[in-house]
Structure 1
Amino acid sequence: MSGKNQFSLLRSRRFGPFFWTQALGAFNDNVFKNALVSLIVFQVATTSSAQSNIYTNVAAALFILPFLLFSATSGQLSDKFDKARIAQLVKVMELAIMLVGLVGFVLHSIPLLLAMLFMMGLHSTLFGPLKYGLLPQVLQKDELVGGNGLIEMATFMAILVGQILGNVLIDTPVYGPWLVGAATIAIALVGVATSRAMPKVDAPDPGLVINWNPFTETWRNLGQIRGNRAVFLSCLGISWFWFFGSVFITQLPNYAKFVLGGTNTVYTFLLTLFSLGIATGSLLCERMSGHKVEIGLVPFGSIGMTLFGADLYFAHPTLATTQGLGIAAVLATPGIWRVIVDLVLMAVFAGFFIVPLFALIQTRSDPARRSRVIAANNILNALFMVVAAGLSAVLLNVAGLSIPQLLLATALMNAVVAIYIYTLVPEFLMRFLTWILVNTLYRIKLEGLQRIPDEGPALLVCNHVSYMDALIIGGSVRRPVRFVMYYKIFNIPLLSFIFRTAKAIPIAGARENPDLLEKAFDAVDQALAEGEVVCIFPEGALTKDGEIAPFRGGVERILARRPVPVVPLALRGLWGSVFSRRDTRLGRSRLPRRFWSRIGLAADEPVPADAANAAHLEQRVRALRGSWA
């Protein structure tokens, strides 16, 4: 995948029909839901902001309530049965819902339409665990971030186009309700057709006995994901994303009308900006992460969500004094371009936040239980969105906050939640700092890293050129790497936090600190015994002249205690960088020679333990590095 565009997945039968099936489902959800919201805000509740707030929050809560009630059952079904077959049945259910929805729109029956909105929430509940549980079954590991980016892009583009279409159709004089009903039925029919093109997918756990009690199964699912700390906190992060996003999306119609003084077309314009922003951020994740699951993007995303979400308040803190403005009139008002920039960039950073979290859950969950993990995540999502709807209603109607104040409060809460999560799991912040440092200073060309085993213990050996070597390797290799490094480098301020969080192993020479040396070898052996990847720099120190120094015998001592495969690595192009010893050797202060310079990291075929001695590994690393020092 590293040499391919992620859009090439759309041409494959294993992904293409599924992609269009889920996209059409999300599209239909939003045509239906937005036609209903538009009917309420711009036709039923035409004068009262409070009445409009109540209706829109009730609609949002009804749509997500099934996720809370039935996700546990849905996860079991997706783990037990062929996901393609489930998708086909769900699409037939969608068609039936839309037939009833036509009656509701024609009769202008808000209760019936709200009931069908609940049923569409149930439809999405059944599809959710299937959607994210299927991706790791049909995609390669280096396709997973790209596939998730496409799914998130499609979801938010479906929100955009669906809501635009819902607005346009329901606003059509006389025939609006008929057009909405006909469109949703037609979309459901196309979805049935694309679902039938999905290939059969083996059930992960066909012997699973279904627990039909949603309450006990929900409790059990939530208890089980808590056993995997990284997955559980990633689920909390995703749920917070939906809390944050649901507040902004739910309030967007009223923001357009009462804050900017705009018509329905202004709401559509803002929704377009928001959806395009998230779609752009989601698609950029693959390129920014180098085709791997890069959780360092998550803190990056949360920072942008907070900064631009908060600035949205300061860009336009007051309610509009006039109503009924079109797009051109709104664009002429003071401060509007700042609002637009804030909205778009907040959405782009939200895309950076959500895609890596989904990919992390998919890669670190037990394959036999993956759909149930996704279901537990959906339960948390629903709970957070119900709370978001309730809290929004309380803050707006009881506490008396304005819509801009509500959005500011949500952005500030985002900062608090982010700090809390990164305190619990420093790995997120460590990967973020690594990603920022490495990608700010360098452009990395990676070769052969797929040769590093996906599972089981392995020892990496690499030439040692700069103080950044461990960060570059750790930020490029998909698996977590335990580094053995000279204790003085380990203790460098700021970098020390990264190294400690990554569980690096400090080491000293036998003359400096023999006790620390022995502790380091014991820690390496324990890490390998537990199936981890360990990286050492056998030269024992940074190169002083850009050349590779003779490898020391520590690697042989490690392999004598724990025979594991050894993967030679070579760093290229780092000599002369600000973090190498080139200028130190010449007695000059370290100054960067190049900004965003091109460097390389290459991996060779694994060497069996019985053939891996220091001299042979040194020769392999020299050949791998070549003349590009």
Structure 2
Amino acid sequence: MSDQPLPAASAPGRAPREHPSQFSLFRERRFAPFFWTQFLGALNDNVFKVGFTSLVTYQTARFSGVDAKTAAFLISAIFILPFVLLSATSGQIADKYDKATLTRFVKTFEIAVMLIGGAGFVTHHAPLLYLCTLLMGVHSTLFGPVKYAYLPQHLDDRELVGGNGLFEMGTFVAILIGTIIGGAAAAAPVHGAWLLAGVCLAVALAGRATSSRVPASPSSQPELRINWNPITETWRNLALARENRTVFLSLLGISWLWFVGATFLTSFFSYAKDVLSADPDVVTVLLATFSLGIGTGSLLCERLSKRRVEIGLVPLGSIGISVFALDLYWASHGIAPTGRLIGVAEFLGHARHWRILADLFLLAMFGGFYSVPLYALIQSRCQPTHRARIIAANNILNAFFMIVSALMAIGLTSLGVSIPGLFAVTALLNVLVAAYIYSLVPEFLLRFVAWLLVHTFYRIRLVHAERIPEQGAAVLVCNHVSYVDAVVIMAESPRPIRFVMDYRIFRSPVAGWLFRHAKAIPIAPAHDDPAMLAKAYDACAQALAEGELVCIFPEGKITRDGELNTFRHGVTQILERTPVPVIPMALRGLWGSVFSRHADAHWPRPVNKGVMSRLTLAVAEPLEPGAATPEALQSIVAELRGARR
């Protein structure tokens, strides 16, 4: 959508660039001009929409035939209607033509749109302003696939999350500034409408100027024949997105976030006026707090995810959204009307209002944790040749969800549900939707468990983790120290791993459910179940043939004394059928933890270890399959582990 953040994906064939931090991208032309073009576009969207909404909410008498209670929801619905009608076509255009050229065209169109909007402001002509809202939706529909397809051509893998976080941060800083400017201009007693018209036109001109410095971004599929039928192409784009189940469900997850966000953002004017008895300046404070929360969460994502696509943050984000949305409902319950509109100073003088601001900030921050990894996941796992059309499918779904959000809000408020009640309904729906998505793609929950473990109990030091291949088949071999070895390795891997695990683990209701859905491969000794053993080798061969990572613990059991058990010949059996590189690894520091078999390791404190224990995952150079004998692997793993267990 117009003010969504731009995810970045890897650019194949380009050597990774090293940066001290994500902010160093601002010094590079491949990033900065496009960032500021997007920033100014999001800023203008919000100056216009906030200014328009504020005027019709607090100066309803000047706009004939406008219902102040539903105006904000109607503006939102009109703005996103073009996403339903035109996203499929705009996705094809972005795949077919140079994105820099398209960017400049869209920014020129924005200038014309803002001339129409300016005329609507100065004449207080609601139909003209609704027309401008529709055209701004067209502008954003055209630009959406362009911006999502641009950065993957210019950023590499290590810049994925950082670039994504910067764009989301920049978007919501733009929302913050646009909210302040739009609200302040609309509140001006004499020339508010003229101020709004002038600011919107000036920002559009600035956006066109920055777009002139965007570097060339050649077409990803210049031979594409555009299907101008929006209905058939919309269906084709949705079918294209469904080819990758994880990508499609991630699209649904993002669209649900826009349902939640639209519900809250479009409710703030009525919430401030009818619940808090506050003036438009307080609306600005609420929107600013929400925007700062999103920006903070987005920037924290790079640190929390260690510069990779960490989808374990997605469940964390959804939990936080529901928790703080419900607390916002409770904090808003029972506020007595004052009979007058209070200003910012009086609003900030009440402790309950600070709780409301804290809930908004934290809700939005967890929204950042939720959205950044999902955008990056989609960009990293869909084919570059039709990336823009996948984004078009995303915009179609986003638009549909936001329209449903507006209709739900209008329907519930017309039935007498209060704005805080609307927040509570949204929070509870978020729980149901999150549970549904995570049940379909347990990879999110597994990564969340892994991320939570390594950020709660352990501080992990990685030694040459870049040797774990990001593409292609390989067998990972590691020592077996504890019950959480697989979870720790999973948390530090750049991609999913098929673990070969003792069949008895699958008898556990929780661990069994998680690892079954993670496609772990159960294995049994030949004397216990020869058929299961043969089936396990077949599954390993199929996984490797499909280019996946397979991890095996060749000791066959968790150590009881901290020392390595003798490596068995399972690795040899796997490599005889599918010769692939072998990556030896070693875990240090887990022996003696509560998850190990150390005799004195009892909860809650591991023996000789603090709550945040230090451990190391060391990775050796890949071995050719012929050199990966059990004896050679055990020697390498023992050397990697060293004296520390």
Q: TM-score, normalised by structure 2?
A: 0.93
- The CA deviation at 1:482 is 0.5
The whole-number CA distance in structure 2 between the counterparts of 1:113 and 1:48 is: 13
Equivalent position of 2:342 in the other structure: 325
- The CA deviation at 1:340 is 1.9
Cα contact 1:318–1:404 (8 A) shared by 2: no
- The CA deviation at 1:318 is 4.3
- The CA deviation at 1:588 is 7.4
State how 1:297-446 maps to structure 2 within 5 Å: 297-318=313-334, 320-322=336-338, 323-333=340-350, 335-397=352-414, 399-446=415-462
Cα contact 2:462–2:618 (8 A) shared by 1: yes
The whole-number CA distance in structure 2 between the counterparts of 1:587 and 1:260 is: 53
Q: Which moved more, 1:450-459 or 1:478-487?
A: 450-459
The whole-number CA distance in structure 2 between the counterparts of 1:113 and 1:587 is: 68
The whole-number CA distance in structure 2 between the counterparts of 1:193 and 1:153 is: 22
SS in 2 for 1:494: helix
- The CA deviation at 1:261 is 0.6
The whole-number CA distance in structure 2 between the counterparts of 1:462 and 1:48 is: 72
Kindly provide the CA deviation profile for residues 471-499 of structure 1, in whole angstroms up to 9, marking residues without a partner as x: 01112111110011222344445322222
Which of 136, 141, 148 is matched with 1:125 structurally? 141
- The CA deviation at 1:565 is 0.9
SS in 1 for 2:189: coil
The whole-number CA distance in structure 2 between the counterparts of 1:3 and 1:159 is: 27
Cα contact 2:62–2:124 (8 A) shared by 1: no
Kindly provide the CA deviation profile for residues 49-97 of structure 1, in whole angstroms up to 9, marking residues without a partner as x: 9921222221111111111111111100111111111111111111221
SS in 1 for 2:152: helix
Equivalent position of 2:6 in the other structure: none
Letter in 2 for 1:210: I
The whole-number CA distance in structure 2 between the counterparts of 1:512 and 1:2 is: 50
**1:532 and 2:557 correspond:** no
Indicate how the Cα distance of structure 1 residues 560 and 192 shifts in structure 2: closer, same or farther if over 3 A, else same: same
Cα contact 2:475–2:582 (8 A) shared by 1: yes
Letter in 1 for 2:439: T
Cα contact 1:45–1:52 (8 A) shared by 2: no
State how 1:147-546 maps to structure 2 within 5 Å: 147-318=163-334, 320-322=336-338, 323-333=340-350, 335-397=352-414, 399-546=415-562
Letter in 1 for 2:389: R
Letter in 2 for 1:386: I
Letter in 1 for 2:552: I
Indicate how the Cα distance of structure 1 residues 522 and 41 shifts in structure 2: closer, same or farther if over 3 A, else same: same
Indicate how the Cα distance of structure 1 residues 263 and 621 shifts in structure 2: closer, same or farther if over 3 A, else same: same
Letter in 2 for 1:499: F
Equivalent position of 1:41 in the other structure: 57
The whole-number CA distance in structure 2 between the counterparts of 1:199 and 1:463 is: 49
Cα contact 1:430–1:497 (8 A) shared by 2: no
The whole-number CA distance in structure 1 between the counterparts of 2:65 and 2:253 is: 32
Letter in 2 for 1:424: L
Q: Which moved more, 1:515-524 or 1:367-376?
A: 515-524
Instruction: Show structure 2 runs of 5+ residues with no match.
Output: 1-16
- The CA deviation at 1:162 is 0.5
Indicate how the Cα distance of structure 1 residues 571 and 587 shifts in structure 2: closer, same or farther if over 3 A, else same: closer
The whole-number CA distance in structure 2 between the counterparts of 1:219 and 1:198 is: 32
Equivalent position of 1:89 in the other structure: 105
- The CA deviation at 1:48 is 13
Kindly provide the CA deviation profile for residues 147-185 of structure 1, in whole angstroms up to 9, marking residues without a partner as x: 111111111111111011111122223332222222222
State how 1:540-559 maps to structure 2 within 5 Å: 540-559=556-575
Letter in 2 for 1:331: L
Indicate how the Cα distance of structure 1 residues 319 and 400 shifts in structure 2: closer, same or farther if over 3 A, else same: farther
Letter in 2 for 1:120: M
Cα contact 2:60–2:66 (8 A) shared by 1: no
Q: TM-score, normalised by structure 1?
A: 0.95
The whole-number CA distance in structure 1 between the counterparts of 2:286 and 2:603 is: 51
The whole-number CA distance in structure 1 between the counterparts of 2:508 and 2:585 is: 24
Equivalent position of 1:13 in the other structure: 29
Cα contact 2:594–2:602 (8 A) shared by 1: no
- The CA deviation at 1:98 is 1.6
- The CA deviation at 1:45 is 5.2
Letter in 1 for 2:408: L
Q: Which moved more, 1:533-542 or 1:50-59?
A: 50-59
SS in 2 for 1:52: coil
SS in 1 for 2:498: strand
Q: How many residues align?
A: 626
Cα contact 2:63–2:124 (8 A) shared by 1: no
Cα contact 1:98–1:184 (8 A) shared by 2: yes
- The CA deviation at 1:438 is 2.6
Q: Percent identity at matched positions?
A: 55
Kindly provide the CA deviation profile for residues 158-216 of structure 1, in whole angstroms up to 9, marking residues without a partner as x: 11110111111222233322222222222222212221211111211111001111121
The whole-number CA distance in structure 2 between the counterparts of 1:199 and 1:424 is: 40
Q: Which moved more, 1:267-276 or 1:5-14?
A: 5-14
Indicate how the Cα distance of structure 1 residues 9 and 622 shifts in structure 2: closer, same or farther if over 3 A, else same: farther
- The CA deviation at 1:590 is 8.3
Letter in 2 for 1:372: R
Cα contact 2:438–2:444 (8 A) shared by 1: yes
The whole-number CA distance in structure 2 between the counterparts of 1:258 and 1:554 is: 68
State how 1:569-608 maps to structure 2 within 5 Å: 569-582=585-598, 584=599, 591-592=605-606, 593-608=609-624
Kindly provide the CA deviation profile for residues 404-425 of structure 1, in whole angstroms up to 9, marking residues without a partner as x: 1112111111111111212222
SS in 2 for 1:485: strand
- The CA deviation at 1:26 is 0.5
Letter in 2 for 1:390: L
Indicate how the Cα distance of structure 1 residues 45 and 420 shifts in structure 2: closer, same or farther if over 3 A, else same: farther
Which of 117, 125, 128 is matched with 1:112 structurally? 128
Cα contact 2:34–2:210 (8 A) shared by 1: yes
Cα contact 1:457–1:530 (8 A) shared by 2: yes
SS in 2 for 1:51: coil
Letter in 2 for 1:185: L
